[in-house]
Amino acid sequence: MRSDILDKKLSKFLLSNIKFHIGEKVLKRGQLILFKIKEFYYVFTIKNEKGELKEYQLPYPFEIIEDTDSLGFSYKLDKFYNKNEFVEFKIKVIERNKKNKLYDSIVVLSIDR
């Protein structure tokens, strides 16, 4: 997905109370003040409950999943290798010393109610 299309989708969340979560686990929560692209990352400026501005970075996702009140950033490996068996094999044999919380998951940006 092109970044200008994603920018339009993200702009509907501006100045709303939002949360980033994977399943039930909340990663970040607060009011979305600003978002920008910095190299291969989306940088979100969020005002937390204490009134402090914090930045939260997410790598550019493999796929965007849009719903009415949410936006999913997919980091699922099957979207990365796109059914290429050789790449799939290489990914599965890589030894992971430290598992990242985004590894093979979907981060959901949704309105916090």
Spatial distance between the Cα atoms of 53 and 31, rounded to a whole number of angstroms: 9
pLDDT of 11-44, one tens digit each? 999 999 999 999 999 999 999 999 998 989 999 9
φ and ψ at residue 2, rounded to 5 degrees: -70, 150
Reduced DSSP (H G I as helix, E B as strand, rest coil) percent helix, strand, coil of the chain, to 5:
20, 45, 35
CA angle 11, 15, 19 (to 5 degrees): 85
Q: What's the pLDDT score for residue 111? A: 93
Residues with Cβ < 8 Å from 111, sequence gap 6 or more? 13, 16, 17, 18, 69, 70
pLDDT tens sequence across 47-91: 999 999 999 999 999 889 998 889 999 988 777 777 777 777 766
79-88 pLDDT, tens digit per residue, is 777 777 777 7
Q: Can you give the pLDDT at residue 2?
A: 64
Q: Report residue 7 as tokens.
A: 């920018």
How many angstroms from the chain centroid is the CA of residue 36?
A: 13
pTM of the model: 0.82
What pLDDT band is residue 97 in, cutting at 50, 70 and 90?
Answer: low
Cβ proximity of 59 and 74 under 8 Å: no
Q: How many other CB atoms sit within 10 Å of the CB of residue 73? A: 22
